[in-house]
Amino acid sequence: MLQVLWLIPVLPLAGFLLLAVAGKRLDARVVSALGTGSVGLSTIASLLVGAAFISTPPAGFLYTQRLWTWFVVGNFAPAFGLSVDGLSLVMILVVGIVGFLILLYSIGFMAGDEGFSRFFAYMNLFVGSMLILLLADNLLFLYLGWEGVGLCSYLLIGFWYREADARKAAIKAFVVTRVGDAAFAVGLFMLAHTFGTLQIQEVAQKAAGTWAVGSLSAQAAAALLLGGAVGKSAQLPLQTWLPDAMAGPTPVSALIHAATMVTAGVYLIARMNALFLLAPQVRFIVALVGAVTLLVAGASALAQKDIKRVLAYSTMSQIGYMFLALGVGAWSAAIFHFMTHACFKALLFLSAGVVIQALDNEHDIFMMGGLRRVLPLAFWTFLIGAASLSALPIVTAGFYSKDMILLRVWASPEGGIWLWTAGLVGAFLTSLYAFRVVFVAFFGPVKRQVKSRPGLPMKIPLIVLSVFSIGAGFIELPRTLGHVTLFSDLVEKALPAARETIASLLTEGALQGIVSLASLIAVLAVGLYYLGPAASARRARSRAASAVERFWYSGWGFDWLYRNVFVKPFVNAARLDEADVIDLPYRGIARIMEWGRIALVLTQSGKVRWYVMGATIGAAIFLLVAVFA
């Protein structure tokens, strides 16, 4: 069944082509069937490939399928080639399953929208581009998928293009991520020039044989790829586009933030692990960027009022955990957290979408309240997602993946207590902002009447994702809870094994207990703050606390900084450039031509005697020139 690998990206792309060409002329039910069905069939193909790969592994646990040569320039001949191993298999299964559920949900959420067929066309292109990115066997083909998801993010964030906020958010996402993409492109040029190939396996082998660990070239190449990863995954300092991306429809937010675009950077670093192993300083920067981002984003999430912006900052924070894991060499832990995060973050966004739609597009959590009674399904599914996001112990998938990261950060020679402490504080902040939304939006008095309720296409994904958000973690259990290693056994065939000092069971249990206690204390604290006696009185803030809250609410001032350091100077320079002296000669030539035209027009008087006199004068001048020249 491995031979059907090519169908996995082709089916969503075929759905896109059909919808792009004929979508406006098709009935909404046909559009829904094409848009959702193509991704569903792609997911079935992924499951068949996965079953064949696991039951009868190919040689080297890597299967490659070359479709055709893209182009040939000298000895450089990149191909449209696909490859699957343990890493890409996990990624395509998550993208396929979660993407299918989000598209199923979209049938109900987007019903009646004038751009219904356009929405499904864009979503199919998005999924197809992400699958190309994950399955590409060379970096140039991967870059095609990389730019594809960038284009689709622009189209989907600005889907409601008549709204100014959506247009601005789409442009912002496109421009900010281009900064990282430019670095990625330069890195590809460097690798192609050095090794004469962009085949991922060949680059890994040649880099290990050519560059020494810590060499300047290896550090430069890894840093350039990191630039691309930081932009796509919304990590500091290129994180400012993600909160504004909430201007798009809620299913778009779920797809971008759960399983596709923002995880592309995580995949790139994991896929190019051989290169990053040669650049220990860059790997430290990866860990540091992740640690700082998870704290900065967690604090910002705690100050937001818009339910989707809370989840957007949460995504930045959770991707920060993945970067932290990658930086300390906990490769499989990062991918495990990607998998669980895709489940519970998609669940949170889709549950939030039910609330927003039911309250007639209300986003402010402080305008909600009492929803656990009037929207019980949204309450229970959001609660499960928040619990998994907060890594509540034993019963949630998020607990096992986050515990795996923090344990390996503690035990890794490249980790240590400071990075582990950052992860611990991040876990505390996560529980605070997640359950702040739960207690404010779903408890207390009812503040607004529910205008609509979800239909079956919206309910099914919520229920399925709830099961995944609880049960997905049990495929990888720590030694203290049974030591199941099904996930890492698969993924570590494609990734280096974690370099760590094996902690004692007592130490491991103590670390788990500390993280679990921090999460539970945060839940209790935020519950007492919003629901306890005299809660309203306690919410009165000092001037200093209000200033800190405004600072966090603004995303720590990064937008203000970039606007004043980069945007305004560029705009002012562009305005000055309107009168650039380089244009003066060309404007002068144009003015001379204009004067010549006016002079010639004046000669067209319509009087024959003037024409005869002009011809006589011209003939005389010609004769004089001929005689005396």
The model carries a pTM of 0.90
Mean pLDDT of all residues in 281-287: 96
Mean pLDDT of 53-68: 92
| pLDDT (0 to 100) of residue 277 | 94
Q: What does DSSP assign to residue 306?
A: B
What percentage of the chain has pLDDT greater than the value 70?
A: 96
Residue 501 has a pLDDT of: 66
Task: Quick: pLDDT tens for 402-430.
Answer: 999 999 999 888 888 999 999 999 999 99
Checking if the pLDDT of 342 tops 90, the result is yes
270 and 334 in contact (C-beta within 8 Å)? yes
Confidence band, pLDDT 50/70/90 cuts, at residue 610: confident
The helix (run of H) or strand (run of E) holding residue 431 is helix 417-442
pLDDT at 446: 86
Give the residue among 219, 448, 240, 471 at the shortest CA–CA distance from 355.
Answer: 448
Q: 598: how many CB neighbours lie within 10 A of its CB?
A: 9
- pLDDT band, residue 581 (cuts 50/70/90): low
What mean pLDDT comes out for the span 580-597?
80
Q: Where are the domains of the chain?
A: 329-540, 580-628
473-494 pLDDT, tens digit each: 999 999 888 889 999 999 988 9
Task: Indicate whether 533 pLDDT > 80.
Answer: no
Which two structure tokens, joined as six digits, stand for 72? Answer: 């040939």
Q: What is the mean pLDDT of residues 344-359?
A: 95
Quote the pLDDT of residue 18.
95
Q: What does the pLDDT look like over 175-213, one tens digit per residue?
A: 999 999 999 999 999 999 999 999 999 999 999 999 999
pLDDT value at residue 602: 72
Percent over 90 (pLDDT), the chain: 73
More confident residue, 322 or 586: 322
Instruction: Give the mean pLDDT of the chain.
Output: 91
Q: What are 31-47's pLDDT values in tens digits?
A: 999 999 999 999 999 99
Distance CA(281)–CA(287), nearest Å, equals 10
The span from the CA of 555 to the CA of 253, in Å, is 18
Report residue 81: phi and psi, to 5°.
-125, 145
